[in-house]
Amino acid sequence: MGRAPCCDKASVKKGPWSPEEDATLKSYIEQNGTGGNWIALPQKIGLKRCGKSCRLRWLNYLRPNIKHGGFSEEEDRIILSLYISIGSRWSIIAAQLPGRTDNDIKNYWNTRLKKKLFGKQSRKDQRQQQHLARQAAAAAGDGQIKQEASGSANESDGLAPGANYSWHHHHSMAVPVHPMSAPMVVEGGRVGDDVDESIRKLLFKLGGNPFAALPAPPCIPPPPMYEEEPSFAAPLAHAMPLNEGGMQCSSVLPALELDESFHFNQVKLDGLECLFGMGDHHNMRWNEVSPLVCPNNAVASSSQGMQQYCIAEEPADLGMQ
DNA sequence: AAAGTCGGCAACCGCTCGCGG
DNA sequence: ACCGCGAGCGGTTGCCGACTT
């Protein structure tokens, strides 16, 4: 015997919402609010919908000031940074992006950002690239170039067809620039600093050490201006030795170093494992994640996830004690 | 032109959490 | 302390339009 359903499935309408239903729900909530009871709401206003469905429709679509699509680079970075830090906590991520819903961000991550991050190009992008390659080949009139251009760029890298990697294809190995270590550079200056600061504050608020949570990969200086399409990738050829008398850094960061850089931040990183050499991680709760995010700090645990706080090393700098 | 495939998005499902009795 | 209920969340599914062959 399972749990009782929240509504009578037989008498409840499913599927896309009609404009009339939208109008009914919207006008009622705007005038009366939800009344604190979503289950009872559809009956009250004569909608043959499940209360959960009404709630979802309101939150994801009808609510004022909702933004759809058109994610900016800055929003991309926030999403990525938070995903790396806290995993697929879409509601928390959405809370940092005014006008965005968790569902929207989740869809965006699953359909676009993940591909963008991991370099899989859309067919449109692939077509553009192939078109350019053909043009270049035609201009060069070189048989060998033509042959390479007709295939996808990744084939020469030994990657599976269709899995175009847009991390810099010129380099033997590529890693994503750490979002916190590489503020986006735009004309006239950096725009990433404020975002970074807000994310650090958020992480601190959530119980993580904002300094340890997102360690900069060793020996990788901030990237130069994006040359082509903006991406979180950066060429490792830029990774030159930083300190003259000290440790020498190779131009290609060993996978081991990457692993060490991120080993204490093993939130569920769907898809990131392949980059950072992580194993299979099951979904973790915040009280599991927190010690990983701030391993060197004392953690004051309480019974439920978000209630615990790390003693960060430099809270004063954040003004958030 | 038609069939097949892919990508994006809205919505659903089922689970956990939190609160009140 | 326990139980039941509603809210909230994240994963998954299904539809539909765009694109490819």
Question: DSSP string spanning A258-276?
Answer: HHHHHTT--S--TTTHHHH
Q: Which nucleotides of B are covered by protein (CB under 7 A)?
A: 6-18
DSSP string, A262-316: HTT--S--TTTHHHHT--------HHHHHHHHSTTS-EE--SSGGG-EE--S-HH
pLDDT digits (tens, 9 = 90+) for A74-85: 888 888 888 888
Q: Is the pLDDT of residue A182 over 70?
A: no
Pairwise CA distance, residues A321 & A187, whole Å: 35
Through-space separation of residue A161 CA and nucleotide C6 C1' in angstroms: 49
Closest residue to B15 (CA, C1′): A3
pLDDT, residue A303, reads 33
pLDDT, residue A173, reads 32
Mean pLDDT value of segment A8-21: 82
pLDDT, residue A197, reads 57
Q: Is the pLDDT of residue A295 over 70?
A: no
Looking at every residue in chain A, the average pLDDT score rounds to 55
pLDDT, residue A266, reads 42
Mean pLDDT value of segment A93-122: 79
For chain A, list the domains and their CATH numbers: 9-62 (1.10.10.60), 73-118+176-318 (no CATH), 123-164 (no CATH)
Strand C and A127 CB separated by under 7 Å? yes
